C-alpha cells in the first residue's frame, strides 16, 4: 500500500519536474527571443538616430558647400565681367586712337601734297590750315603709337617724315609740283598702304573682342 502510494508520488513528482522543465524551457526560449528582439530594437533605434544625425550633418555640409560654390561662381562671373569690361574699354580706346590716326594721317598727307601743287599766294592762305593738320597728325600719332605694332609705327613715322620733308623742301623753293609727279604718286601709294594697315589693325581689335 505504502509502496503504491510512493510510486504514485514519484510519478506526480516526475510529471511536475517534466512540466517545470517544459516551463523553464519555454521561458528560456521566449526570453532568448525577447532579448534578441530587444537588442535588435535598441540597435536599430541607435543606428536610426545615428543615421538621422548623419543625414542632417551631410545635408548641412552639402548646403554649405553649395553656398560656397555659388559664392565662387558669382565671384568668377564678377571677375569675368570686370575683365571683359576692361577689355572693351581698352579696345574702345585703341579703336578710337587708331581711327583718329587714320583720319589725321590721311588728312595731313593730302594737305601737304596739295600745298606743293599751289602757287605761293595760295600756300600763304593755306599755311595756317596746313600747320593745324600737321599738328593734328602729330597728336594722333603720339596717342596711337602705343597701340601700333612696332613695324607699323615705324612705317607711319617714316611715311610722314618723308612726305613732310619733301613737301617743305618744294615749298621753300617756290616750286609748284605737278599732280603727275612720280614722287607724288609714290607718296600717295605709301599713304594708301599705311591707311590700309591701320584699318586692318582696327578690324583685328574688333574681331578679338
Secondary structure letter of residue 209 according to DSSP: -
Q: What integer pLDDT is reported at residue 75 of this predicted model?
A: 80
Contact 205, 87 (CB under 8 A): no
- CA 186/CA 45 separation, integer angstroms: 98
Q: What integer pLDDT is reported at residue 120 of this predicted model?
A: 86
| Sequence-separated (6 or more) residues with CB below 8 Å from residue 158 | none
3-class DSSP state of 93: helix
Q: Position of cell 592762305?
A: 125
Secondary structure letter of residue 153 according to DSSP: H
Secondary structure letter of residue 118 according to DSSP: S
Closest CA to 127 of 82, 172, 97: 172
Q: What integer pLDDT is reported at residue 138 of this predicted model?
A: 95
Closest CA to 132 of 120, 122, 140: 140
- Return the domain boundaries, the chain: 98-208
Q: What integer pLDDT is reported at residue 13 of this predicted model?
A: 58
Angle at 60 between CA 58 and CA 61, to 5 degrees: 65
Residue percentage of the chain with pLDDT more than 70: 74
Q: Position of cell 588728312?
A: 107
pTM flag (> 0.85): no
What parts of the chain have a pLDDT lower than 70?
1-48, 51, 54, 208-209
Q: What integer pLDDT is reported at residue 84 of this predicted model?
A: 79
Secondary structure letter of residue 146 according to DSSP: G
- CA 65/CA 197 separation, integer angstroms: 53
Q: What integer pLDDT is reported at residue 60 of this predicted model?
A: 80
3-class DSSP state of 177: coil
Amino acid at each position: 500500500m505504502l509502496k503504491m502510494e510512493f510510486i504514485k508520488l514519484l510519478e506526480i513528482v516526475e510529471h511536475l519536474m517534466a512540466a517545470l522543465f517544459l516551463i523553464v524551457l519555454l521561458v528560456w526560449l521566449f526570453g532568448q527571443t525577447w532579448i534578441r528582439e530587444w537588442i535588435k530594437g535598441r540597435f536599430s533605434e541607435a543606428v536610426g538616430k545615428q543615421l538621422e544625425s548623419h543625414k542632417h550633418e551631410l545635408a548641412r555640409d552639402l548646403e554649405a558647400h553649395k553656398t560656397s560654390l555659388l559664392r565662387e561662381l558669382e565671384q568668377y562671373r564678377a571677375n569675368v565681367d570686370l575683365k571683359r569690361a576692361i577689355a572693351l574699354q581698352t579696345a574702345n580706346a585703341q579703336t578710337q586712337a587708331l581711327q583718329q590716326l587714320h583720319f589725321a594721317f590721311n588728312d595731313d598727307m593730302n594737305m601737304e601734297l596739295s600745298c606743293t601743287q599751289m602757287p605761293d599766294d595760295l600756300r600763304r592762305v593755306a599755311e595756317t590750315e596746313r600747320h593745324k593738320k600737321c599738328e593734328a597728325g602729330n597728336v594722333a600719332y603720339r596717342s596711337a603709337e602705343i597701340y601700333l605694332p612696332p613695324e607699323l609705327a615705324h612705317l607711319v613715322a617714316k611715311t610722314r617724315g618723308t612726305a613732310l620733308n619733301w613737301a617743305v623742301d618744294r615749298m621753300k623753293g617756290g616750286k609748284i609740283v605737278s599732280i603727275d609727279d612720280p614722287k607724288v604718286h609714290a607718296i600717295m601709294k605709301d599713304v594708301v598702304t599705311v591707311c590700309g594697315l591701320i584699318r586692318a589693325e582696327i578690324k583685328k581689335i574688333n574681331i578679338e573682342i
